[in-house]
Structures are given as structure tokens and as C-alpha cells.
Amino acid sequence: MKIDSTHLRLVGSCPDQVGIIARVATFIADHGGNITASNQYEDVRSKTFFMRYGIELLDTEMSASEFATTFRSLADELQMDWRLTDLAQKPRIVLFVSKFDHCLAYLLHRWKGGDLRFDIPCVISNHETLRELVEWYGIPFHHVPVPKESKAKQAAFEKTGELIEQAKPDTIVLARYMQIFPAWLCRKYRHNVINIHHSFLPSFIGAKPYHQADERGVKLIGATCHYVTENLDAGPIIEQDVVRVRHSDSIEDMMRQGKDVENTVLARGLRYHLEDRVLVHGNKTILFS
């Protein structure tokens, strides 16, 4: 299917009530729209309704912004938290990385091959290690060292914040960026900063999770793609997966096996996010297939 400005995606959540689906579907039809995909879910505990609709506007005179403006009155009546995505617009993704290259290389490969559809205005790193890889793809690379001293670290993240603003991203991806994102940046880009953590959260939060797993003698190790919040490695989870390890596996063996899981979990989690399949509900997520 050709993607143009007449193809939209509408996602939202609101208090559960009679007639939500009928009213939204009627609105879409009355404004020249055809529903091409439909997902809905009711959380019975919180009495919250969640929805995701693909829409093809048959009335090509109506733009995405006009559709959004017109829909707002119905959304207000339903007390709906919602967003509308114009599929003609590629999302902008800023990637953060430190020295580990596997997640970055995997995303760049999938992006270059067209498997993941987005633009990359820049990559930001606290080390120079991966500049050559990034620039080989023709992507601007910004090196912002992050010293340990408190005031210098604050200045570094202020510089980082300026670079992010200049890039105007829709989403920020921490592809093994080995720094704690400051709380003010977490708040500013809430539910739009995605991290890959190399453990099956909530197990082994923080640094060196493979070492923690080895000490505990676990039989499964994993990776977790989650939204970044002010609480370390505790944001809403988007995607997870595991791989089995043996008692004879060293930490290096675990790290080697874990890299493959990290790659696929981050790529899947990012795809779900970009396709508006993830709706945050408290500290959990609704994930539409």
C-alpha cells in the first residue's frame, strides 16, 4: 500500500463508556474515512478503554491536521488522551551510544535496508569510539563527553539537551548509552525515550547485569526494551526476550549471547513504538499486535 498524507493512525485511551467504538467509527465514516486496521482493549481494573485505528481518508481534500482539529471535540466529550499520526511523515530518531556497537550497528543496518522507516538527524555519544561507523552511513556524529564531576556532568547534559532540541526528534533511543539520562530530560521527552537494558527486568537493575546474573546462577538471561523515566531501569516495559545459559557459560559467553537478544528486542520495541502499538498505562503498557 502506498503511504501518503491520506493514511493516518489514531490511538487513544479514555474512561470506558457505552458507545466509544460506534461514535469513533461513525466520526471517521462521516469525514470520508475508511478504517483499515482496528485494535481495542478494555482494562477492567481501571475501567479504561484503549484503541488503535488505521484510517484511509477517502476525502483527499481533508488534511491530517484538519481531521485532528475536527476530531478534537469528540475526543473532549469522551475525555480521551489521543494522538494522530500522519503516515506520510517519517519519524525522526536521535540515537545515543557509548562504546558498545552491536545495537547501533543493528539499527543502522535495518534502517539502511528500509526495514525500519525513520530519519536519523544525528547520533550522540559520550565517546569517540563509534564516530567512523556512524559517519560511514552519512549521519552527523556529536561527541559530548560526560565527566564524573557533578557540575561538569550537568554542563554536558545541558549541551546534550541543546543538540536534541536542534535535531527535533520524535523519539530518542539509548542504544547501549552507558549514562543515566537526567530526570529533566526524562520529563521533557516522557514516553519518547527508549532504552535497551541487558537483563530481564526487574531482575538485575543497574550496572553489570551479566555479572549479577552470573553470581545468581540464573538459567535464563534476557533483554528489556523500556521507556526511560526518572527511576533507573523502572520505566514501562515495551518488549522482552530471553536466551538459555548453562552453568559452564562464562560472563563473556553470556555477553556474547545477550548481544543477539538485545539487538532483536530493541529493534522490535522501536518498531512497536513507531507503529503506535504501545499505549502507556501507569507503569505498564498496552501492546497491540
Q: Which of 86, 115, 233, 276 is catalytic?
A: 233
Q: Collapsing DSSP states into helix, strand and coil, what is residue 282? A: coil
- CB atoms under 10 Å from CB of 199, counted, come to 24
Q: Collapsing DSSP states into helix, strand and coil, what is residue 287? A: strand
Name the grid cell of 250. 562464562
Q: What is the C-alpha separation between 232 and 11, in angstroms, rounded?
A: 28
**For residues 135 and 104, is the Cβ–Cβ distance under 8 A?**
no
What are the two backbone dihedrals, phi and then psi, of residue 132, each rounded to the nearest 5 degrees?
A: -60, -40
Name the grid cell of 54. 488505521
Going by the DSSP 8-state scheme, the letter that residue 118 receives in this structure is: -
Q: What is the C-alpha separation between 287 and 35, in angstroms, rounded?
A: 19
- Would residue 233 show up in a list of annotated catalytic residues for this protein? yes
Q: How open is the CA angle 270-272-273, to the nearest 5 degrees?
A: 65
Q: What is the C-alpha separation between 156 and 138, in angstroms, rounded?
A: 25
Q: By C-alpha distance, which of 202, 198, 158, 177 is closest to 101?
A: 177
Catalytic residues: 233
